[in-house]
Chain A
């Protein structure tokens, strides 16, 4: 059993609540704990936000992964106060709000630098934009939209799609000709009807974002739906933002966190709005941050590739997180049903 799994189990049994209290509540905060998605994003955050935060406040930052919604629920339900900040995707963010797992932010204490309005939420600070887009192996005929992506006659080859209806159903509907601005509420029946036709060309339903670029390079598949940051700058892989979905990752405060540590964490959140820090982040994990002035700090070739660059943003759509919150369960069941038919 690896360390990650073990720490998850400890959290689930509630034992972490007893062991994880690093300090008595009244004494000075010496450390805050952040749960994030690990990998490159953890390295980038440590260099971009952790370093300036620690040098200014003297407070150490401990990070751990993965950032599963179930883990957040376990932390809160067991009254665990060890973790202060938690990274959530747009969909999980909506669920966490409804399940009362996170705190309202005190934006005055955060005192942010200028940021894009959609990244400033009562309950979370959006810190990166990411897209879920179509990518293909270099040398393969380039598709313009999802209709072409799924057209295996003119675009021969195998496909890899995420094992997640949130990204797949809208793409199937776009392929069926539903206009981007009329996607929601999703026509679930039509989406599954389309998928039952497309499924013969899909050889892999991926679980982890590292899979699609690797599968493309190995020639295991020729077309794949992928996270933008995972294919950006990857040798032998091409991609397009056309009809991609745009999402925001949020940093949230765990409801059961210690007040003094939350105050300290606000200073960390402030660092997440500083354009210079975001430029460092981009250098390690290429996702753009929430500052409108970030573009001035990076070379124009990088800015052109931004998920949020005007010409990229205009061809993408946002998910309706609220729709998924109410329908997610029913769709998941049909998704399992669909997977059994593969």
Chain B
């Protein structure tokens, strides 16, 4: 099939301005660059520095300690487990919702999109606590089910993996839906019509024509969700009931209560390396997904 430049326009046309040089762009990019380097990259280097320091000298002591204590790696492993589960839920539900939105009339579409965006206006903390009112033992759902006689004892939605995944998925959902929707709306309808005119079933049209064109957007929003999940603090702390150990919560202890910043730094750097490795895999996938034009 010919995937012409006309339909994938913005990307294919974007190679030319690069040659015009970065000097012209510097006054515009400069302030942001300074902010990122001083406010983000600098502190990360300080953390690297902390992770290699022990009693005033440089050493690998912190990393040795980390390697010798399986619990740190297990907490990191658990963090990835919760992250993968949450991302899976977000990807499946978010994809369906975004796809449904594209099928609506423009008016309804705007209303539904507004409903998705509105969740950004409410603080993460408030949204997290709200789940207690909805899903707690004495919450709306359990009381309704008990009243209706559907269950004998309240269902334990909260204070376990399920509670954390529900809470995190709720917060991450818009971050996946919005870019995915933007990509879906750009898919050229003529491709689908062409497929239909050649006799493809609706299922085939979706899986062989529509879905492949949304993979890059799906992959990049999934990556965004994964990276944000890895650092989640509030939701596991509140909805996990302290039973779902995640890295950010462990780091909080080592930074604020113990406080062993050197060890906490080493754990952070290991997490950062894992995340970078994941990012590299994603880049590979992205190249593969966007095929020959990458």
Contact = CB atoms under 8 A, between A and B. Distances in A.
A and B part of one assembly: yes
A182 B78 CA distance: 37
A71 B256 contact: yes
Interface residues of B, number: 32
Contacts of A340: 71, 74-75, 78, 245
B137 A219 contact: yes
B71 A69 contact: no
Interface in A142-182: 163
A13 interface: yes
Contact of A332 (B74, B123, B253): B253
A70 B71 contact: no
A336 interface: yes
Given A218-B137, A340-B75, A205 B259 contact: no
Nearest to A206: B242
Contact of B258 (A206, A332, A337): A332
B250 A204 contact: no
A235 interface: no
B241 A203 contact: yes
B256 A68 contact: yes
A218 B138 contact: yes
B95 to A, nearest CB: 29
Contacts of A339: 242-243, 245
Interface string A198-210: 0000011111000
A118 interface: no
B57 interface: no
Given A219-B137, A332-B253, A163 B242 contact: yes
Contacts of A203: 156, 159, 241
A70 B259 contact: yes
B137 A220 contact: yes
Contacts of B136: 218, 220
Chain A, interface residues (CB within 8 Å), range: 20 to 34
Q: Per DSSP, are chain A's interface residues mostly helix, strand or loop, or mixed?
A: helix
Interface in A322-342: 328-329, 332-333, 336-337, 339-340, 342
Given A69-B256, A73-B259, A204 B159 contact: yes
A2 B244 CA distance: 24
A164 to B, nearest CB: 8
B69 interface: yes
Contacts of B250: 336
A342 B75 CA distance: 13
Contacts of A328: 258
B39 interface: yes
A205 B243 contact: yes
B253 A220 contact: no
28 contacts: A2-B125, A68-B256, A70-B256, A73-B259, A73-B261, A92-B257, A163-B242, A203-B241, A204-B159, A204-B241, A205-B241, A205-B242, A205-B243, A206-B241, A206-B242, A219-B137, A328-B258, A329-B258, A332-B253, A332-B257, A333-B69, A336-B71, A336-B72, A339-B245, A340-B71, A340-B74, A340-B75, A342-B243
Closest 10 A-B residue pairs measured CB to CB? A205-B242, A70-B256, A163-B242, A204-B241, A68-B256, A342-B243, A70-B255, A70-B259, A337-B71, A218-B138
Given A13-B43, A204-B159, A336-B245, 15 more contacts: A2-B123, A68-B257, A70-B259, A73-B261, A203-B241, A204-B241, A205-B241, A205-B243, A207-B238, A207-B242, A218-B136, A218-B137, A220-B137, A329-B258, A340-B71
